[in-house]
Structure 1
Amino acid sequence: MQRYDAKRAVIIGGTSGIGLATAKMLVQGGARVVVTGRSPAGLESTQKELGAAGIVVSSDARSLTDLDALASRVKSEFDTFDLLFVNAGFSTFAPLADTTEAAFDEMFNLNAKGPFFAVQKLGPLINQGGAVVLTTSTANVKGMPMIAAYGGAKAALRSFARTFAAELLPRGIRVNAVSPGPIETPIIGKAFPDKATADYLTGQMRDANPMKRFGTPDEVAKAVLFLAFDATYTNGLELPVDGGWSQL
């Protein structure tokens, strides 16, 4: 018997990086997964990687209409499920003086509003004893220049984790958060399209980290699955996976 036999999971933001690594671990352990993404190329490659155990859905994590459609699809595919991993997120970089209203709204729509309504709409389908894991960020506890709106949105998401945990507790559903530090994912290249700038800033982050390296998506995925299935007496927690960056 495999570790995740008969488990069913939904991963919002699952076609690259941490989400994809988590989906692959679940499938390798015998689970079935629904994963969402927006890039046609990412959707196609993810379907090939996950095979028949994966259901890959084009869905915008910021859109309530898309979340309603996703809930209907999950209901038809799984009826109920065991893990909701809300992972979609992204940061844009700008100093306070240059942050526009549109950029501010984008950060909160993707990193706070979308996750809030994802839990609202998909939560009723989670089995008793199931779990929700939210992806926050070390940016919600460290004062990091250039990403004020992103850090604020992730801080809101951290607060949601506590409130959701309290509200869903009567159904036996645990809600926790995983808080990644610098992780080697494709987001780095998207955030810094200029390679010279990317190399400079990622080098600074690497040097500032107590472990002097970036983490891997697999390292975060293991923490997600620990919170989801093993940490059965843990609720409302934010687990840093950051090389000690937020702690030391």
Structure 2
Amino acid sequence: MSKVIVITGAGSGLGRALARCFVADGDHVVLLGRTMSKLEAVVGELGDNALAVGCDVGNPDSVRAAFAKIAERHPKIDVLINNAAKIDYSTLARASDSHIIDIVMTNLAGNMFASRAAINMMERGGHIINVTSVSVEEPYPHHVVYQGSKGGVEAMSKHLQDELRPDGIRVTVVRAGPMLDEDYQAQSGAEESAAFFQASLERGMNLMEMPVSHFKSITWVFRSLIDMPDDMHVDTLRFNSRKP
């Protein structure tokens, strides 16, 4: 049976790859993102089973408006994938106010805003999947704000699962390793990226030698989670990249 799957940050990257996978499988997908031109390009590719809705997950009013629009076509949501995230490289000492606020509002508060809206459109069997990062535990430098926001998502997910268990709604964390595709563009500027690269070398991490997966290689992980039998649950699933 097809599902209604809402994906945040779906205009590119992992979100776009997941949308392509799910529509190909016959599901109905709602793509959320801040840049409508990117969302519309994906929907133009995917057809009638895809819906583009502009949404800044870090803005609660934008999230409310987006889910109200979703409800016009899909009164019930089966799955929410909180994929939208922002990362900028900086030490905490040098981080600007906007750096901290933007990352925390998108990655942590945005996850809560979207989850809150989705819960109220879910029935038993609903599933919230929160994408975090192996950097929560790995010693990546210049990641403190990002790591803090993703660690917060993991803690929130654990306690949200306890809250939603009586309602039959599952919450799963996917702790993802490095991944990209041919359209990947770094969010940070050249100077910040260079400083991150150098700091990584000083910690014994040569980023040029680390394996990176393609977004398309990851979609089966989410497909498997969504298709879990009713008597199964996965709290946290961690995957990493490897060189073939």
Question: What band does the TM-score fall into relative to the shorter chain?
Answer: 0.7 to 0.9
Does the Cα contact within 8 Å between 2:67 and 2:118 map onto a contact in 1?
Answer: yes
The 3 A distance-change label for structure 1 pair 127 and 206 is: farther
CA separation in 2, counterparts of 1:243 and 1:14? 22
Q: Select 2:222's aligned residue among 216, 221, 224.
A: 224
List per-residue Cα deviations over 1:124-143 (Å, max 9, x = no partner): 11121121101111111122
Does the Cα contact within 8 Å between 2:133 and 2:150 map onto a contact in 1?
Answer: yes
Q: What is the aligned partner in structure 1 of residue 125 from structure 2?
A: 129
Amino acid corresponding to residue 162 of structure 1 in structure 2: K
CA separation in 2, counterparts of 1:139 and 1:125? 32
Q: What is the aligned partner in structure 1 of residue 21 from structure 2?
A: 25
Matches within 5 A, 1:45-124: 45-124=41-120
TM-score after normalising by structure 2: 0.88
CA separation in 1, counterparts of 2:62 and 2:108? 16
Q: What is the aligned partner in structure 1 of residue 212 from structure 2?
A: 214
Q: CA deviation at 1:93?
A: 0.4
Q: What is the aligned partner in structure 2 of residue 234 from structure 1?
A: 233
CA separation in 2, counterparts of 1:25 and 1:107? 28
The 3 A distance-change label for structure 1 pair 115 and 215 is: same
Q: CA deviation at 1:119?
A: 0.8
Alignment: residue pair count: 235
Q: What is the aligned partner in structure 1 of residue 188 from structure 2?
A: 191
Q: Select 1:163's aligned residue among 131, 154, 159.
A: 159
Q: Select 1:36's aligned residue among 32, 51, 73.
A: 32
Q: What is the aligned partner in structure 2 of residue 243 from structure 1?
A: 241
The 3 A distance-change label for structure 1 pair 225 and 48 is: same
Does the Cα contact within 8 Å between 2:55 and 2:62 map onto a contact in 1?
Answer: yes
Percent of aligned pairs sharing the same letter: 23
Does the Cα contact within 8 Å between 2:174 and 2:236 map onto a contact in 1?
Answer: yes
Q: What is the aligned partner in structure 2 of residue 150 from structure 1?
A: 146
C-alpha RMSD of the superposition: 2.4
CA separation in 2, counterparts of 1:20 and 1:158? 23
TM-score after normalising by structure 1: 0.86
Does the Cα contact within 8 Å between 1:90 and 1:187 map onto a contact in 2?
Answer: no
CA separation in 2, counterparts of 1:188 and 1:34? 23
Q: CA deviation at 1:193?
A: 4.6
**Mean Cα displacement is larger for which, 135-144 or 26-35?**
135-144
State the secondary structure of the residue aligned to 1:145.
coil
CA separation in 2, counterparts of 1:224 and 1:174? 14
The runs of 5 or more residues in structure 1 that have no matched partner are none
Higher helix share: 1
CA separation in 2, counterparts of 1:221 and 1:158? 20
Does the Cα contact within 8 Å between 2:87 and 2:103 map onto a contact in 1?
Answer: yes
CA separation in 2, counterparts of 1:132 and 1:143? 27
Does the Cα contact within 8 Å between 1:206 and 1:214 map onto a contact in 2?
Answer: no
List per-residue Cα deviations over 1:106-162 (Å, max 9, x = no partner): 111011011012111211111211211011111111222101000000000001111
Amino acid corresponding to residue 178 of structure 2 in structure 1: P
CA separation in 2, counterparts of 1:63 and 1:231? 35
CA separation in 1, counterparts of 2:4 and 2:15? 15
